[in-house]
Structure 1
């Protein structure tokens, strides 16, 4: 049991920081920038209809596609392809008005029919919830679409316009009808800031700035997103000039970057929570079944120290599983509730004192401290 606890803690330390690193040699408006990603980019990430319940694929999805509405800083929903929208007083209908002149990467116009098609085509993680609550979608005219709900649903805009789902990302109906789902994933067409150039499975994805994008056009013409699982390799690529940006560096790698005057370490703030899960807590025979032992484990972990050692201060501790900011608010944060802070003068094992288990108090404290340090 002690080994299992140690494994869980070390896993949290390994993934609990997501800083972004920029080199000083990123080129200008017509240049190329290489990004070293910590993941392997799958073709399914090009298609909003199959977006999984993860934040990472949206790094690609938001590059290739744009949404009807979109989350902005401050936990608010802002305009996207739709320049305006309204909600009926009874909360049963939402009407969106698209901007004029919007075009997909292949030159086809973005229309309300594409919005309807994209929603009905969506079958990702939130599809069941959306389909059970949306009664119908009506195309009022080429630039206006109306959603009718079965009952008032205050969370509709959160599900439709944030990374909770990919249902609000608009894809071209005409193109997909011609090439099919598989053809679309091989060469996706969207209305986002970058258009697809090529994909070498397991190696890289290349995208190019779309000059017709309605928001600000990228200052960098081409991005090469390379899959580089090892953090040390991503740092080496930065130092050797093989990459301009590297994502997801843990403590040692991030510290290596911080010590290099040629590089800058920048935190990417987003509302994400990492936690320890006691998988055996429902087993009456497990020591973790007792609430006091779990409380002892919590007190045994010096979370501020974990933050400093593994995250260089970028991962502030929290006492709640739900972020203080909305999940789509990349400028948000977390808060720590009173009464949950670790007392450095209290023996964590005291919280488990008197239990009829064969696990010694000293082993609980020593093992959890070792895993968290």
Structure 2
């Protein structure tokens, strides 16, 4: 009887489809600096969100760990006309609640993002969409208002597909905490600002590398490092360079570093009443910063200065542009010409623990500004409180201010960076210029790659030499600490995605 039972088990295993993988096992615990604010995949856009939502949801396209474009829910896609993209979907894929992933789900998901009532921060990526057409159950066409060659790269970042029935049945508050997607994990528990617990999705066609992943939100760097060394967490992100030797000395932990396309910069709210309404002041603020000293002494070599907002990995990068030189004498001269020979004071905000050595770098920059008469009041805040200030920046009763942010170029394109920090439509930008907006829109709709690249390079030249809308700083390395039992390599886009972390 036992022998018969054994043969039945063996036969069952042999009859399993070739694509079926064994159920994932094990558990990993990650310690991350930035916390996400919602599990609604269509409302906001940020690096913490883009590191969590891919665990639960899927997009039509995606970026492989090496940065290359790859298919995800789309089995294939092509441009059938200058303003029409056709996507063939994978068959047999289901959401975690059992609903099918089909063309109707794709249509619903993008229409939800584009709905003005949603006030989606992702709208700017898909604003070129005119309509979505369901050809058949597994074929969908996206019609654009004008040619948009940047659509595929953006479809590899946002545009997560959700089940229409479920998302129609519930209000936004419920959906922000109870997500349903087709990704490798389901979200089992979320204590906002503290931790998220993921469990393997039994319906997923892409399996996670472990059964359970716990993400603990630890904004303070030293606390994250202590948690790693003590074994409370297995991987941490945003490891400060100054603490890297402590991680290496732990014996069971190591440092993993990779150059990332994440640019750190300081934005200015350019509006009436701001001293920096005068471009000479904006130029002076750039010339007063010794970027080489900051990258060497604060970042300990784990950063490279940039000329404007994107680095060499970006499509549209202009190699002719160089970072602003350190010239405090010229900065003083420009300030005097603009009527600020005695300088002025202002607030500059930075979120607590969100950017690697951000507070330390900003304090160093404030010290350099002080040498030319610019008195910066560095204000460290929780990210939620800081966002409210940023979003109210154009209100008449709000004094002009500066704020330190960073943007990960996950689309590896100048368009992505311009859309998030330079365009007038950017929720996080502080610069509004109709001429620059027109240049950005024109470049995005140019189909020829070489022509589009030249247009982006020209936009960068105008920004660097004429408009000076921001204070560009540097692109940082993404530095992680990891227990040696972990099997994982950092991605080209700098994201730490729990579903990709395994055990040796």
Match of 2:58 among 66, 76, 84: 66
CA distance in 1, matches of 2:102, 2:178: 21
Aligned length: 323
CA distance in 1, matches of 2:96, 2:185: 8
Match of 2:139 among 132, 136, 144: 144
Which structure 2 residues correspond to residues 128-167 of structure 1 after superposition, within 5 A? 130=126, 133-159=128-154, 161-163=155-157, 166=158
Q: Which runs of 5+ in 1 are unaligned?
A: 1-28, 328-332
Q: Alpha-carbon deviation of 1:31?
A: 1.8
2:313 is aligned with 1:352: no
- Aligned residue for 1:49? 42
CA distance in 1, matches of 2:170, 2:271: 50
CA change 1:366–1:129 in 2 (3 A) is closer
- Aligned residue for 1:125? 121
- Aligned residue for 1:175? 166
- Aligned residue for 2:178? 187
2:233 is aligned with 1:237: no
Q: Which runs of 5+ in 2 are unaligned?
A: 1-23, 344-367, 379-472, 474-504
SS of 2:226's equivalent in the other structure is: helix
CA distance in 2, matches of 1:275, 1:200: 31
Contact kept, 8 Å, 1:71 with 1:77, in 2: the verdict is yes
CA change 1:363–1:310 in 2 (3 A) is closer
CA change 1:232–1:74 in 2 (3 A) is closer
- Aligned residue for 1:310? 298
Which structure 2 residues correspond to residues 188-207 of structure 1 after superposition, within 5 A? 188-207=179-198
CA RMSD of aligned residues (A): 3.5
Contact kept, 8 Å, 2:76 with 2:88, in 1: the verdict is yes
Which structure 2 residues correspond to residues 168-317 of structure 1 after superposition, within 5 A? 168-215=159-206, 217-267=207-257, 269-277=259-267, 286=275, 294-295=282-283, 297-317=285-305
CA change 1:265–1:367 in 2 (3 A) is farther
Match of 1:34 among 29, 49, 57: 29
SS of 2:47's equivalent in the other structure is: coil
CA change 1:363–1:47 in 2 (3 A) is closer
Q: Alpha-carbon deviation of 1:240?
A: 1.2
Contact kept, 8 Å, 2:306 with 2:322, in 1: the verdict is no
Of 228-237 and 72-81, the range deviating more from structure 2: 72-81
CA change 1:283–1:251 in 2 (3 A) is farther
CA change 1:336–1:253 in 2 (3 A) is farther
CA distance in 2, matches of 1:295, 1:256: 39
Contact kept, 8 Å, 2:186 with 2:201, in 1: the verdict is yes
CA change 1:283–1:240 in 2 (3 A) is same
CA distance in 1, matches of 2:146, 2:309: 29
Q: Alpha-carbon deviation of 1:334?
A: 7.8
Q: Alpha-carbon deviation of 1:115?
A: 0.9
SS of 1:197's equivalent in the other structure is: strand
Contact kept, 8 Å, 1:112 with 1:139, in 2: the verdict is yes
CA change 1:162–1:326 in 2 (3 A) is farther
Contact kept, 8 Å, 2:332 with 2:341, in 1: the verdict is no
- Aligned residue for 2:499? none
CA distance in 2, matches of 1:85, 1:241: 44
CA change 1:311–1:153 in 2 (3 A) is same
| Residue-by-residue CA offset, 1:78-107 (whole Å, 9 max, x unaligned) | 211011011123x12111111122121223
Greater per-residue strand proportion: 2
Contact kept, 8 Å, 1:250 with 1:310, in 2: the verdict is no
Q: Alpha-carbon deviation of 1:223?
A: 0.7
